[in-house]
Each structure stands twice: as structure tokens, then as C-alpha cells.
Amino acid sequence: AQSVTQLDSQVPVFEEAPVELRCNYSSSVSVYLFWYVQYPNQGLQLLLKYLSGSTLVKGINGFEAEFNKSQTSFHLRKPSVHISDTAEYFCAVSLTNDYKLSFGAGTTVTVRA
Amino acid sequence: EAQVTQNPRYLITVTGKKLTVTCSQNMNHEYMSWYRQDPGLGLRQIYYSMNVEVTDKGDVPEGYKVSRKEKRNFPLILESPSPNQTSLYFCASSFAGNGELFFGEGSRLTVL
């Protein structure tokens, strides 16, 4: 079975600074990878996904992530954050031949002025 | 507007009093799923359904039931709620379970 580890539970960051959220997964077979964002008091929405092809994936709101198969990682980055990026971010993985999506524990990003 | 609608959004109940949380999607998605979100644990899957009349257990199915009689609806039933089911619940749907889930806004349940 696949699993996901998000290495940071909380990431405080100043406005306009870069941010990186780390995600590692474990699986012996091919996977699909996702990042979801949850703004306060809302449901989750998809930020970006990796299914195949280019390992650098661009998503909404200026976020991007890089799939590294050798390190089994899928880290999320943004070069310059805004106050509105304050949210909880979830990394998720599924096997390519399975419907089940497994989520990490989440990383809370707090952007300060 | 494409959406997943859950009701109720907030509910306080007592131990043992049966309740149902409804979920409806208007995107003609085959796949629907229920998750619970607890601090430090992320989202854990309760049950999922790949199509009408097809349901299966997720990681934490104990104490819950579901049904999928129509494609658009996927209610979550707590026959005899207990305090350890106090949580934030999310319904989600997608085409063919491809991981691109659309989530409802969540239902916060408190069991006293």
C-alpha cells in the first residue's frame, strides 16, 4: 500500500518570501501525485497533479511541484507568497491502477506581513 | 455551477442517536468518497463508491454505513454515533476515481 509523509506540520513565512513544502511517498509501483489546498473553513481544492510526463508540474496560484522518482518526493514550491496563501496543504498519492487516494497529515502555512 | 453539496454543515448530537449526512454532486461523477479530517491525521477515507450500487470500505469504516442508489447521491449514515466520531467530514467525487477530487465544504459533527 502507498503512504505519504509531509515533513513539516507548520511553516511560517513572510509575505513575498519563497516557500517549499516537503512531501515524500512510499510505493513500490507507479503512482500519481497531487497537492490539495484547504483555505480556512472550506473544502479541499486541487492545486496541481503529476500523472506522467514532465517532472516539473505547474499549478494554480503560482505553485509548482517537482516529481523526483529516485528520492520518492513531490515537493511544492512558490517563489513569492501572499497573505492569501495562508492555508493547509495536503500531499496525496494514488497507485496508477487504483482508485484509492492516500493523504498526508497536512502542512499549515501561515503568511505574515 | 459544478459542486458537491453536503448537509448539514454543522451538527451536534448525542451518543446513539442515528444521523445521516447527505452528499450530492451535479457533475455526473462515477466515483464518490467520504473522508474524515482530524488534527494531525490528515484525511482518512471512510467509504467509497465507484458507481451505483457499488461501495467499498476505506481505511476507517467502523461505525459508518453508506449507500449509492443514485449516481448523484452518496449519504453517510451513523447508526449509533459515539464521541470518537466527532470530526470534520468531507464528501468528494471524481470521474472514474482518477484522483482529481472535487470536495464539498465539509460537515462538522459533534457527538456528546
- Measure CA A64 to chain center: 9
* Burial (CB count within 10 angstroms: exposed 0-12, middle 13-18, buried 19+), residue A36: buried
- Dist CA A98 CA A92 (whole Å): 13
Contacts with A3 from chain B: Cβ below 8 Å: none
Q: Choose the mutation target among B4, B29, B103 for the interface with A, i.e. most A CBs under 10 Å.
A: B103
* Percent of chain A whose pLDDT exceeds 90: 78
Closest residue, chain A, to B96 (C-alpha): A99
Is B2's pLDDT higher than 70? Answer: yes
**Number of Cβ pairs < 8 A linking chain A and chain B:** 53
Residues whose CB falls within 8 Å of the CB of residue A53, separated by 6 or more in sequence, listed in order: none
pLDDT tens-digit map of A11-50:
999 999 999 999 999 987 888 999 999 998 888 999 999 9
What is the three-class DSSP state of A85?
Answer: helix
Q: Choose the mutation target among A99, A100, A103 for the interface with B, i.e. most B CBs under 10 Å.
A: A99
What is the three-class DSSP state of B64?
Answer: coil
Of the candidates A42, A46, A101, the beta carbon closest to that of B105 is on A42
Contacts with B90 from chain A: Cβ below 8 Å: 43-44
CA torsion B27-B105-B8-B47 (nearest 10°) is: 70
Of the candidates B43, B100, B105, the beta carbon closest to that of A103 is on B43
pLDDT tens-digit map of B57-88:
999 999 999 999 999 999 999 999 999 999 99
What's the confidence (pLDDT) of residue B13? 95
Task: Report the relative pairing of strands A56-58 and A73-78 from DSSP bridges.
Answer: unpaired
Confidence of residue B100 (pLDDT cuts 50, 70, 90): confident
Cis ω before B8 (30° cut-off from 0): yes
Distance to chain B for A37, nearest Cα, Å: 11
- Which residue in A107, A62, A58 sits closest to A87, CA to CA? A107
A10 reaches B (C-beta below 8 A): no
